[in-house]
Structure 1
Amino acid sequence: MGVLNVYFILVVLFLSCGAVMAMKENDRIIKENNCETITGLPCVLEAFMSIFETRSISNKCCGELVVLGKVCHSALVKRTLENPLFKDLSTTTIIAKSIQTLNNYLALIDSPSLST
């Protein structure tokens, strides 16, 4: 019985360390790429509202978020999902939706109606 408890504790520690390392990895990516300084808070909020609450995003913010790039976009979304407020959300669904949203930004920026 004692051996079982030791294995259980080791598994819990291993899983906890993995979660902490994932959090640190997202923070490292955000810091190294200056993700939080590339775009303004209003546009970040618009982006997250479009991902988490299916709202639209302005052309101005769309342009800023394309400059932000996929690496920063993904790291910021993943870090947001680490917040206990979002624990009930489907991580895979939100990440897929964030990729779709970023692709929509790219398509909107490449659209001829914006370049004229």
Structure 2
Amino acid sequence: MASLNVYSVLVVLFLTCGAAMATKENEQIIKENNCETKMGLPCVLKAFTNIFETGSISNKCCAEVVVLGKVCHSALVKTALENPLFKDLVPATIIAKSIQTWNNYLALIYSPSPCS
């Protein structure tokens, strides 16, 4: 799996260059919903690590993901999968994990325990 540094580079490139590799549909969703500006970089890194590898995420970052919205969450994950860095990953597996993670965030954001 890629290290946190690879995720950092991916996220920084994504945030600074836009969704150049995104499909038109995902690019349009990201642009229309201002997805790139709704989360802080530290939480973006934690969320991506949580989905693409393993890790935990704080309640604060969990809440940022939920505020981001499911549409943005899905579009950003699908866009990341288009990056050559992730060519060895099975998209269906990551998308399934992304959906499961989203559902966990929703369930856990209202509980006293930290998101994971």
Structure 1-normalised TM-score? 0.76
Provide Cα deviations, 1:47-88, integer angstroms capped at 9, x if missing partner. 000011111111110011100011000000000000011011
Deviating 4+ runs (over 3 angstroms): none
CA positional deviation for 1:98: 0.5
CA positional deviation for 1:29: 0.4
Q: Greater Rg, structure 1 or structure 2?
A: 1
Which residue identity lines up with residue 95 of structure 2 in the other structure? I
Structure 2-normalised TM-score? 0.76
Q: SS where residue 89 of structure 1 aligns?
A: coil
Q: Which residue of 2 aligns with 1:68?
A: 68
Q: Which residue of 2 aligns with 1:16?
A: none
5+ residue gaps, structure 1, are 1-21
> Which structure shows the bigger proportion of residues in helix conformation?
1
Provide Cα deviations, 1:69-114, integer angstroms capped at 9, x if missing partner. 1100000000000001101100000000011111111111122x26
> Relative contact order (alpha carbons < 8 A, sep ≥ 6): 1 or 2 greater?
2
CA positional deviation for 1:23: 1.0
The 5 Å alignment of 1:77-96 reads 77-96=77-96
> How many pairs does the alignment contain?
94
5+ residue gaps, structure 2, are 1-21
Please identify, of 73-82 and 36-45, the stretch whose mean Cα deviation from structure 2 is larger.
36-45
Q: Which residue of 2 aligns with 1:36?
A: 36
CA distance in 2, matches of 1:101, 1:33: 21
Which residue identity lines up with residue 66 of structure 2 in the other structure? V
